Amino acid sequence: MEIGIFTKVFSRPTLEEVLDAVQATGLRPVQFNMESTGLLPMPDEIPAGLARRIRDEITARGLAIASLQGTFNMSHPDPEARRAGLRRLRVLAEICETLGTSIIAICIGTRDRENMWRHHPENTTPEAWRDMTACVREAVRMAEDVGLTLALEPEVTNIVDSADQARRLLDEISSPHLKITMDAANLFHAGELPRMAKILDHAFALLGRDIILAHAKDIQHDGEAGQEPAGKGLLDYPRYLSLLKKHGFTGTLLLHGLSEEEVPGCIAFLREKLSTLGG
């Protein structure tokens, strides 16, 4: 597996300066966010020639786009909000071939109207699951049309809040174009940290064969998504990384949830842990 990073970790006035900052870390793969070009993360349109420019600048620096960020609230209670998200997702899907990536990271979301990563009490209703799965099906049909893979991430605050729910969704959709982003820091409901080893083992037993991306951040509290820099919290990284290796993951381990100043220390931490695995 190879360490990568989100481009949005680096705030710069221009695309070229963002990519220069990534290159300076010594990392190669990135998850690209359209904000790094000055656009919205999910733009309504992309200027002609921009995708080729991104690819040229990426290539010139010896970088590669492992995935494109395409997150919107796929569980939003307003149907028009979901339809708008799908339209914008197609805009991103249409530039993936030019960018040189075949993976878009998605967010299953919640019934919260303002924050797609905030828990909402209606997340567990049948209506929420119905609306979400309909949106995911439409997104997967789009991915199938253009030969892309969508990577969903189980998160404790979302409708898909566990490995069990992620397995349920994968089985219901039943498409090779829907896979998993594994972020171990996002798996623990309130009171579950003492059972970390069992929960990690269970998650990988259910999802290991479908993991296409992995995240590297950390957690200080259960019951919420982890937002600590990798190595600065309570996550059992030796177990997490060994499970990725055991289940044959050879993709990109993406750093996020950290400041630019924390990047060098987190890279060193991950490299040291991976070296003990021979990876």
Say how far apart CA 181 and CA 175 lie, in whole Å: 15
- What pLDDT does residue 139 have? 98
pLDDT at position 214: 98
Measured CA distances, 153 to 27, 63, 80, 160 (Å): 23, 24, 23, 8
What's the chain's length in residues? 279
Query: pLDDT value at position 29?
Result: 98
Query: Angle formed by the axes of helices 50-60 and 15-24, to 10°?
Result: 30
Q: Is the pTM of this model over 0.85?
A: yes
Q: What percent of the chain has pLDDT over 70?
A: 99
Question: What is the reported pLDDT for 84?
Answer: 98
Task: Look at residue 225 and give its three-state secondary structure.
Answer: coil
Tell me the pairing of strands 211-216 and 252-255: parallel
3-class SS of residue 64:
strand
C-alpha to C-alpha distance for 234 and 11, rounded to whole angstroms = 28
pLDDT digits 0-9 by tens, 186-240: 999 999 999 999 999 999 999 999 999 999 999 998 877 778 999 999 999 999 9
Nearest-angstrom CA–CA distance, 269 and 8? 21
Distance CA 96, CA 80 (A): 25
pLDDT of residue 15: 98
CB atoms within 10 A of CB 276: 10
Per the structure block, which two tokens stand in for 137?
């099906």
What is the reported pLDDT for 17? 98
Q: Where are the domains of the chain?
A: 2-277
Quote the pLDDT of residue 226.
74
CATH assignment of 2-277, given 3.10.110.10, 3.40.50.720, 3.30.230.10, 3.20.20.150? Answer: 3.20.20.150
| SS3 state of residue 105 | strand
Mind listing the pLDDT tens digit of every residue in the chain (279 residues)? Answer: 999 999 999 999 999 999 999 999 999 999 999 999 999 999 999 999 999 999 999 999 999 999 999 999 999 999 999 999 999 999 999 999 999 999 999 999 999 999 999 999 999 999 999 999 999 999 999 999 999 999 999 999 999 999 999 999 999 999 999 999 999 999 999 999 999 999 999 999 999 999 999 999 999 988 777 789 999 999 999 999 999 999 999 999 999 999 999 999 999 999 999 999 875
